[in-house]
Amino acid sequence: MKALCWHGKKDVRVENVPDPKILNPRDCIVRITATAICGSDLHLYNGNIPTMQSGDILGHEFMGEVVEVGREVKNLSVGDRVVVPFTICCGRCFFCQRELWSLCDNSNPNAELPAKLYGDSPAGLFGYSHMMGGYAGGQAEYARVPYADVGPLKIENGFTDEQVLFLSDIFPTGYMAAENCNIQPGDTVAIWGCGPVAQFAIHSAYFLGAERVIAIDRFPERLELARRWGKAETLNYEEVDVFEALKEMTGGRGPDACIDAVGLEAHGTTIDALYDRAKHATYLGTDRPHALRQAIFACRKGGTISIAGVYGGFLDKLPFGAAFNKGLKFAMGQTHMLRYMRPLLERIHQGQIDPSHLITHRLPLDKADEGYAIFNDKQDECIKVVLKPGAN
């Protein structure tokens, strides 16, 4: 089959590789009909996530048709159409039983690696480094899905792939970011970043009762989408002082909740952002938490910081004194996908949102490498790239 393989920093190639096989009784094989490039794939593309190996197949947002099931998978049949969540979960461990799906104890074959770095291992992920299990990803013609009796969501109504594909990661991720804000009537939510996850977080914050949503970015097309599609107020951080503007807009109190939808590769124009870039460029630091610092500084006393952007290592110069003395609450982590996939499918069904609105680029799988370059450089006002295996 054809698959998009990682070979190093900014080096991804579509290659011919063997087809996946069933390896465990609870596996299934999916023939992929649509797959997307995620903002977090760019962290891999830019070489910011450790334990990648040359030849690893990328991709964790995918859907398709079941073509083979393992002997323990009773709820799926060949021919079923499924959206596959990006986190892999057994459904039976302490964490799955508590619906902390992204913290599954039994889905990472390399659990001892993150245990050394993080103290314990989170769930295995598709196409997201060997520390996260080393599973082959879904930017391919076929993928093997472990614990297929738990994760995949069957799509039974006549939705198009583009309407439901983002249930594989970014819609639930944006929703959880908003849910983590514990939004109360009258609340203002500020969101750093206007990428795809942030766009879903904007919609979700309104679903959950926010009165105002303020979205922060520097790309005009993303700010425009946040205003037009999300009905958010926007701030361009290259034009205004974000902290002053947020204080001004909230009567000096600050936003009730702040969502960091940027993560470890933040850009900024302030001195700390330049410091991060210098450290990163000289291999003295791993993550660049500029957006998170600003969110902590701007958040109102007793407010909530919700982190949806990915962090991997150690964060420098984090204003923890501000967080402590303002009594902030923190919520973060990979998305507990199975809590959200079905309810959000229902919202799509009811016509509350059409996720396909986000797609700016559609490419055949053969041109996946081109898709990465376009998305990474934000060329051509790119917001979301969808790849279609089998298309030309």
Positions touching other proteins (CB under 8 A) are 1, 3, 5, 7, 13, 15, 17-21, 23-26, 53-57, 72, 88, 90-94, 97, 105-109, 111-112, 124, 133-136, 140, 144, 146-147
- At 369, which amino acid appears? D
Nearest one of 184, 331, 182, 189 to 258, comparing CA atoms = 189
Least distance (Å) from other proteins to the CB of residue 55? 4
H or E stretch at 115: helix 112-118
44 vs 273, which CB is nearer to other proteins?
A: 44
51 vs 360, which CB is nearer to other proteins?
A: 51
Phi, psi of 332 (to 5 degrees): -165, 180
Phi, psi of 217 (to 5 degrees): -160, -175
Least distance (Å) from other proteins to the CB of residue 291? 33
Q: What is residue 77's three-state secondary structure? A: coil
Phi, psi of 182 (to 5 degrees): 50, 55
Whole-angstrom CA distances from 383 to 86, 129, 196 are 20, 24, 7
146 vs 193, which CB is nearer to other proteins?
A: 146
Least distance (Å) from other proteins to the CB of residue 94? 5
Least distance (Å) from other proteins to the CB of residue 52? 11
Least distance (Å) from other proteins to the CB of residue 1? 7
149: which DSSP letter? Answer: T
94 vs 243, which CB is nearer to other proteins?
A: 94
141 vs 276, which CB is nearer to other proteins?
A: 141
How far is Cα 329 from Cα 335, in angstroms, rounded to an integer? Answer: 18
Q: Is the CB of residue 175 less than 8 Å from the CB of residue 204? A: yes
Least distance (Å) from other proteins to the CB of residue 49? 17
Residues near 178 by beta carbon (within 8 Å), at least 6 away in sequence: 189, 201, 204, 205, 207, 208, 210, 259, 306
137 vs 303, which CB is nearer to other proteins?
A: 137
106 vs 168, which CB is nearer to other proteins?
A: 106
11 vs 248, which CB is nearer to other proteins?
A: 11
Could you tell me the two tokens for 302?
A: 């007793």
Least distance (Å) from other proteins to the CB of residue 331? 24
Least distance (Å) from other proteins to the CB of residue 338? 15
Least distance (Å) from other proteins to the CB of residue 60? 15
E strand intervals along the chain: 2-8, 11-16, 28-37, 56-57, 61-69, 81-84, 87-88, 124-125, 142-145, 153-154, 188-192, 212-217, 233-236, 257-260, 304-307, 329-332, 361-364, 385-388
82 vs 96, which CB is nearer to other proteins?
A: 96
| β-strand pairing of 61-69 with 28-37 | antiparallel
How far is Cα 359 from Cα 262, in angstroms, rounded to an integer? Answer: 19
Q: Which residue has the tokens 């794939």?
A: 41
Least distance (Å) from other proteins to the CB of residue 21? 6
296 vs 365, which CB is nearer to other proteins?
A: 365
Q: What is the DSSP string of 181-236?
A: T---TT-EEEEE--SHHHHHHHHHHHHTT-SEEEEEES-HHHHHHHHHTT--EEEE
